[in-house]
């Protein structure tokens, strides 16, 4: 699962977000062009805990919106590695 974080203060840095999510395990952060951030943690259980605890919490003056990232209109989950969000084609 990927966590989507929005309503971040404009001055938020990657280190700010690593610090925010650090208690939930190793953190991978990806800034999106729409001002949102995707966060990946070690496992789904810690991601669910982070969502429950951080959604609606104040962070540097803003109230965060933290949720599981939704699939896009093609049913594909967002990805941060070289497939451009597409699933590999099956070899037939």
Report the alpha-carbon angle 14-76-32, nearest 5. 25
The total of other beta-carbon atoms located within 10 Å of residue 42's CB is 12
- Write out pLDDT tens, residues 26-84: 999 999 988 899 999 988 899 999 999 999 999 999 999 999 997 544 344 444 433 33
Q: What does the alpha-carbon distance between residue 56 and residue 81 come to, in Å, rounded to a whole number?
A: 29
Q: Can you tell me the distance from the alpha carbon of 30 to that of 55, in angstroms, rounded to the nearest whole number?
A: 18
| Confidence at residue 6, expressed as pLDDT on a 0 to 100 scale | 96
Q: Parallel, antiparallel, or unpaired: how do β-strands 37-40 and 58-59 relate?
A: unpaired
> pTM value?
0.73
Two structure tokens written together for 15: 């280190």
Reported as a pLDDT band with limits 50, 70 and 90, residue 88 is very low
């Amino acid at each position: 699962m990927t966590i989507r974080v929005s309503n971040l203060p404009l001055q938020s840095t990657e280190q700010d977000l690593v610090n925010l999510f650090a208690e939930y395990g190793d953190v991978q952060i990806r800034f999106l062009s729409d001002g949102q951030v995707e966060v990946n943690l070690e496992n789904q259980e810690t991601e669910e805990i982070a969502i429950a605890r951080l959604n609606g919490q104040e962070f540097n003056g803003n109230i965060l919106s933290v949720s599981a990232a939704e699939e896009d209109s093609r049913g594909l989950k967002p990805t941060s590695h070289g497939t451009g969000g597409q699933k590999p084609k099956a070899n037939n």
